[in-house]
């Protein structure tokens, strides 16, 4: 998925996927959720498998009416953002949009630190590889294509695609899973060095429930804890993303200012980021 990109996107997707494994999620660890005994149902499903194959996820028989769980969460926040650094003798600080147009700004929005690998596909399009985790008990590597669009007072990160890499079983998950994510920043000036920063994150997941014991339960048994999990992830990770963005901008502005002062002292022409 919290697409979310940034301190939000990579960790949130990895945590979300891991919660669907048989060992993940507080509800499954406790054994009960929404009145259902998850561990008892799981033991029942494992009895249906040959003993040598019990490490394999049980797959329900196909039916004409597939069980589709639709999960969603959103979070909006407003905070103050302090600009820093000086551009030449004007004394004006470096614009947030200038930072976001630089590689350091893109990496901050994508939270490159949390990614196993990132591949630039185009100027504003990136393929992000998360670390391997478990999804419905299967080891998978989520691969997300993210587009970063920067304007003078706006930045939008959108997930264009999400798929999994791994064993042959992963193909079945890709066929039964879809997601969408958007992470929008908008800012307005509040004086010469303050911005009013607005952040809106929207995340939705649609998945076909096809593994035991989940197929033995009503769809609400997946959607209710799933929606709760998504919302809890956004509530925790979005503030971390915003704080990291502010820290990354401040560090970038400080570095640019020092380099500019050094070049000015040496008599070299100045090239400021735009």
Domain at 6-265, CATH homologous superfamily? START domain (3.30.530.20)
Domain boundaries, the chain: 6-265
Strand-strand pairing, 36-37 and 177-189 = unpaired
d(CA 99, CA 92): 14
193 contacts 169 by C-beta, under 8 angstroms: no
Mean pLDDT of 203-210: 89
Count Cβ neighbours within 10 Å for each residue of 92-130 and write b for 16 or more, e otherwise.
ebbbbbbbbbbebbbbbbbbbebbeebeeeeeeebbbbb
Reported confidence tier of residue 1, pLDDT bands at 50, 70, 90: very low
85 contacts 94 by C-beta, under 8 angstroms: yes
| pLDDT for the residue numbered 88 | 56
Q: What confidence tens digit (pLDDT) does each residue in 207-250 have?
A: 888 777 778 889 998 899 999 999 999 999 999 999 999 999 99
| pLDDT for the residue numbered 140 | 84
The contacts of residue 153 (CB under 8 Å, 6+ apart) are 97, 186, 187, 188
| pLDDT for the residue numbered 249 | 96
Q: What confidence tens digit (pLDDT) does each residue in 178-189 have?
A: 999 999 999 999
Q: What confidence tens digit (pLDDT) does each residue in 103-149 have?
A: 999 999 998 888 888 999 988 999 999 888 776 677 888 899 999 99
The contacts of residue 186 (CB under 8 Å, 6+ apart) are 153, 154, 197, 198, 199, 200
The residues facing 194 across adjacent strands are: 82
Q: What confidence tens digit (pLDDT) does each residue in 259-272 have?
A: 776 766 665 554 55
The contacts of residue 22 (CB under 8 Å, 6+ apart) are 28, 42, 137
User: CA distances (Å), 113 to each of 143, 163, 234, 239, in order?
Assistant: 15, 20, 19, 17
d(CA 137, CA 139): 7
How many residues are there in the chain? Answer: 274
Counting residues of the chain whose pLDDT is more than 70, the rounded percentage is 70
Half-sphere exposure of 138 (CA within 13 A, CB side): 20
Higher-confidence residue of 22 and 91: namely: 91
Average of per-residue pLDDT values in the chain: 77
CA geometry: angle 216, 219, 225, nearest 5 deg: 105
179 contacts 1 by C-beta, under 8 angstroms: yes
């Amino acid at each position: 998925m919290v697409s979310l990109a940034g301190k939000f996107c990579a960790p949130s997707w990895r945590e979300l996927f891991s919660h669907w494994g048989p060992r993940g999620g507080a509800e499954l660890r406790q054994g009960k959720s929404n009145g259902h005994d998850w561990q008892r149902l799981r033991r029942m499903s494992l009895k249906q498998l040959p003993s040598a194959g019990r490490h394999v996820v049980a797959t329900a028989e196909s039916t004409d009416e597939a069980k589709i769980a639709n999960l969603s969460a959103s979070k909006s926040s407003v905070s103050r953002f302090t600009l820093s650094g000086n551009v030449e003798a004007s004394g004006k600080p470096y614009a947030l949009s200038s930072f976001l147009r630089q590689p350091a700004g893109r990496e901050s929005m994508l939270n490159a630190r949390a990614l196993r690998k990132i591949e630039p596909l185009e100027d504003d399009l990136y393929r992000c590889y998360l670390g391997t985790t478990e999804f419905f008990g299967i080891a998978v590597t989520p691969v997300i294509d993210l587009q970063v669009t920067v304007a003078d007072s706006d930045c939008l990160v959108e997930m264009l695609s999400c798929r999994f890499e791994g064993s042959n079983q992963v193909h079945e998950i890709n066929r039964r899973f879809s997601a969408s994510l958007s992470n929008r920043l908008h800012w307005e000036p509040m004086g010469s060095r303050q911005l009013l920063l607005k952040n809106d994150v929207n995340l939705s997941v649609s998945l076909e429930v096809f593994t035991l014991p989940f197929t033995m339960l009503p769809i609400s048994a997946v959607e209710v804890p799933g929606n709760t999990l998504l919302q809890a992830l956004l509530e925790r990770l979005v503030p971390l993303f915003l704080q990291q963005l502010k820290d990354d901008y401040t560090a970038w502005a400080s570095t640019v200012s020092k380099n500019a002062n050094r070049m000015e002292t040496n008599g070299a022409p100045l090239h400021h980021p735009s």
